[in-house]
Amino acid sequence: MLATEKKLPPLVVPASLEKISVITEHIGVVYAGMGPDSRVLVKRARKIAAQYKAEYGEPVPVKVLVRQIAGVMQEFTQSGGVRPFGVALLVAGIDADGTVGLFQVDPSGSYWAWKASAIGKGMLNAQAFLEKRYKDDDELDDCINMAILTLKEAFEGEMTETNVDIGIIDTEKRVFRVLTPAEVKDFLAV
């Protein structure tokens, strides 16, 4: 599950800002940092996933995709004439065997697997908050409410369905999807 605050600059239509992106039907990503850099990486991740599917005839495993994207990010830290990516990623997905994975990728190209994690401003406080409250047997609704509480810790202003994005993994259907604003509004009302 992924959750994020959408900081909207003035005059921007809320629906036009996409912080959580779907890479494949079973993998999603959220970023902290520079939006244009994340769009480049999302496009590259989709290409990698499509190439893997064409070559092997099955969906790309989450860890394989993360390793490839981390390699791209790491390459940009050493190549001349380009700058490193100014973005950190949280990649969540479910493999064909039902294994759910959450990975954090730093701008350096380093990546780690997590049960729960946070990136961006207020990351350390959010991480401490998650460490105290997360349990392996939490239900999806509990996890969504925990993510909303974690966001509230560093949130500026009022949380609404237009400035919060939530992406979930449906373990039964084995798909990643972004909740609609109406679904987010229902969770914020609780």
> What is the residue extent of each domain of the chain?
2-189
Contacts of 84 (CB under 8 A, 6+ apart): 73, 76, 77, 107, 108
pTM: 0.93
Higher-pLDDT residue of 139 and 14 is 139
For residue 24, the model assigns a pLDDT of 97
Q: Where are the alpha helices (DSSP H) in the chain?
A: 35-56, 62-78, 123-133, 140-154, 181-189
Q: What secondary structure letter does DSSP report for 155? A: -
For residue range 75-86, list pLDDT tens digits in order: 999 988 889 999
For residue range 131-146, list pLDDT tens digits in order: 999 999 999 999 999 9
CB 179 within 8 A of CB 167: yes
For residue 50, the model assigns a pLDDT of 98
For residue 85, the model assigns a pLDDT of 96
Architecture field, domain 2-189: 4-Layer Sandwich (3.60)
Stated length of the chain: 190
